[in-house]
Structure 1
Amino acid sequence: MAEWRVALRTLFARRVVLIALVLLALMLLMAAISQWVLPHDPMTMKISQRLRAPNWSHWSGTDELGRDITSRIFYGARYSLAIGAGTALLAVMLGTVLGLLAGFFKALDAPLMRGVDAMMAFPDILLGIALVSILGASPSNVVLALTIVYTPRVARVVRASTLVIRELPYVEAARAVGVSTPRLLGVHILPNLMSPVLVQLSFIFAYALLAEAGLSFLGVGVGAEIPTWGTMVAASTQHADRAVWTLFFPGMAIMLTALSLQILGDGVRDLLDPRLKGST
């Protein structure tokens, strides 16, 4: 328990990290309880109240169909955060496996990394657009496409760490006493990769949120009928000149969540590797 208290004290020594964690927790809570605490039905259209400015009844105003923006942000958090979390988890799992294999087995290094290099040659958003266009516009396909986009990032980071760890004395000693390869990978190497992997998890979560918004803005993300933060921003562009709140509030939800994840990931990196503290 004392070690956990020291770790938490170190992590939250920078107040901005604590603020980021609180904001992220609020976003997650909002997504979890949205169906019970929404002030209005997020799908109900009231054309007579379209594009109303923020007021006591509609804290964030209404959109082009008279729907309450606050309720839609709360409701849409479930989809946006699920897409971001699903992408981050899948990309980290696949990237860790690929990086571990490439870093440990010299025979697999060249073919796996050449494939990773080929995928990273394409800009993220262009590759995402191409994949979603092929797979079709749906939340699951967006997650699959973004997983393919971000897996190479994790694979390269894990490979670099594995190349260092496999040469350390304790790994050589384990080999010398006849430890099997699966046990060597799972017990002696993988746990020591958790530091870069956890940092990549938070960063890719943030990247996926922004990428989903970008894909929706370009019209190739999830369907317009699904109220993610990205589709809300995309729908608001036609009215942003006379109803800026339709763009501002969903955009702020994306920005605050992505920024919180980046700051939290930065704090975790400083905690797990003090040598990098203060770097960017």
Structure 2
Amino acid sequence: MTDVSLTTKPPASDAARFIRRFLRRKTVVVGLGILVLFVLLAALAPWIAPYSPSKLSIVNRLKPPSEMFWFGTDEFGRDVFSRTIYAARLSLLVGAAVVVLSAVIGVTLGLLAGFFQRLDTPIARLIDAMMAFPDILLAIALVAALGPSLTTVIVALSIVYAPRLARIVRASTLVIRELPYVEAAQALGISTFHIMTRHVLRNLLSPILVQGTFLFASAMLAEAGLSFLGLGVSPDVATWGTMIAAGRQYIGQAGWMTYFPGFAIILSVLSLQMVGDGLRDMLDPRLQKDL
């Protein structure tokens, strides 16, 4: 008699199930695909770009899109396609740096305000005061005070967007600190720092991650706006904002100078919003029932 061995497929891990459910949404897949495309173009720009983004060629100025110049050329004969993909590197760098720095500031302030009652009122009033100003106006004021540069833009936008995270973290911490497992940890004599980092912060990763995607998009859009106004990096550096600003006076005869960097901003921000919406729907228990 032949022995028949039955093998059962091991259950999928929580991470694998989450990824499958996450990728089941078509909008998320499209957004993630566009975002990955921009990341690849930015990372491989030195090998993909047919020309140097700063190479001048007056003979080829204001050439329309063609086989030689895919996105046409600008008023100095520089290749718009090369400048567009090089500009993606700076936009993604600013977005990532702003998310990291604003998360450090916002999470720290939110945890302190939510966990320590004596710090709640002053930090909450500071958050409310900063959020009372429009984001772009506060960023312009900070950049104008500190001087336009890449570092200044990152610091200014981080200060502008940190209160958003701080408010979310504070509200969640106020709820979590009253839960039984936190009170049990305090009764056992576990240090406050250990409770805040291991018990409170770990339960805040979902809203922080979701808000981080939206801040990434907002930071890229704000950087383009500051560069458009001449308050970002040097005008010689290829950014989507400076490219659109330079193309304003040629919009009638060389619209491609504005259209292509504008489309790049729209697609990158839209892709991050799609991914952020998918993460919010997957990580919010109130919305999981509808999935």
For normalisation by structure 2, the TM-score amounts to: 0.93
Matched residues in 2 for 1:263 and 1:278: separation?
19
User: Structure 2: which amino acid aligns with 1:195?
Assistant: S
Question: Residue 82 of structure 1: which of 74, 90, 93 is its match?
Answer: 93
Matched residues in 1 for 2:278 and 2:208: separation?
14
SS of residue matched to 1:226:
coil
SS of residue matched to 1:258:
helix
Cα contact 1:270–1:278 (8 A) shared by 2: no
Matched residues in 2 for 1:205 and 1:27: separation?
14
| Counterpart for residue 17 of structure 2 | 6
Question: Residue 257 of structure 2: which of 231, 246, 269 is its match?
Answer: 246
| Counterpart for residue 38 of structure 1 | 49
95-104 or 113-122, which deviates more: 113-122
* Mapped pair 1:235 → 2:246: yes
- Deviations along 1:190-236, one digit per CA (max 9) or x if unpaired, are 00000110011111110011101111112212211111111111111
User: Structure 2: which amino acid aligns with 1:85?
Assistant: A
SS of residue matched to 2:44:
helix
Paired positions, count: 279
User: Structure 2: which amino acid aligns with 1:186?
Assistant: T
Question: Residue 207 of structure 2: which of 196, 200, 207 is its match?
Answer: 196
List runs of 5+ in structure 1 lacking aligned partners. Answer: none
Question: Residue 132 of structure 1: which of 123, 139, 143 is its match?
Answer: 143
User: Structure 2: which amino acid aligns with 1:143?
Assistant: I
Identical columns (%): 54
Matched residues in 2 for 1:127 and 1:6: separation?
42
List runs of 5+ in structure 2 lacking aligned partners. Answer: 1-11
**Where do 4+ consecutive residues of structure 1 move more than 4 Å?**
none
- Deviations along 1:104-160, one digit per CA (max 9) or x if unpaired, are 000001111111111111111111111101111111110011011101111001101
| Counterpart for residue 51 of structure 1 | 62
Matched residues in 1 for 2:112 and 2:242: separation?
38
Matched residues in 2 for 1:210 and 1:126: separation?
14
**Kindly tell me: are residues 64 and 278 of structure 1, through their superposed partners in 2, closer, same or farther at Cα, counting changes over 3 Å?**
farther
Offset of residue 274 of structure 1: 3.5
Offset of residue 4 of structure 1: 2.1
Cα contact 1:92–1:200 (8 A) shared by 2: no
| Counterpart for residue 8 of structure 2 | none
Matched residues in 2 for 1:230 and 1:86: separation?
18
Q: Indicate the RMSD between aligned Cα atoms, in angstroms.
A: 1.4
SS of residue matched to 1:53:
coil
User: Structure 1: which amino acid aligns with 2:240?
Assistant: W
| Counterpart for residue 103 of structure 2 | 92
User: Structure 2: which amino acid aligns with 1:236?
Assistant: G
SS of residue matched to 1:238:
helix
**Kindly tell me: are residues 133 and 178 of structure 1, through their superposed partners in 2, closer, same or farther at Cα, counting changes over 3 Å?**
same
| Counterpart for residue 264 of structure 1 | 275
Question: Residue 28 of structure 2: which of 6, 10, 17 is its match?
Answer: 17
Offset of residue 76 of structure 1: 1.3
| Counterpart for residue 7 of structure 2 | none
SS of residue matched to 1:52:
coil
* Mapped pair 1:141 → 2:152: yes
Matched residues in 2 for 1:156 and 1:78: separation?
30
Matched residues in 2 for 1:243 and 1:120: separation?
39
| Counterpart for residue 194 of structure 2 | 183
Matched residues in 1 for 2:231 and 2:44: separation?
29
| Counterpart for residue 160 of structure 1 | 171
Q: Which has the larger radius of gyration?
A: 2
User: Structure 1: which amino acid aligns with 2:104?
Assistant: M
Matched residues in 2 for 1:214 and 1:276: separation?
33
User: Structure 2: which amino acid aligns with 1:135?
Assistant: L
User: Structure 1: which amino acid aligns with 2:105?
Assistant: L
Offset of residue 278 of structure 1: 9.7
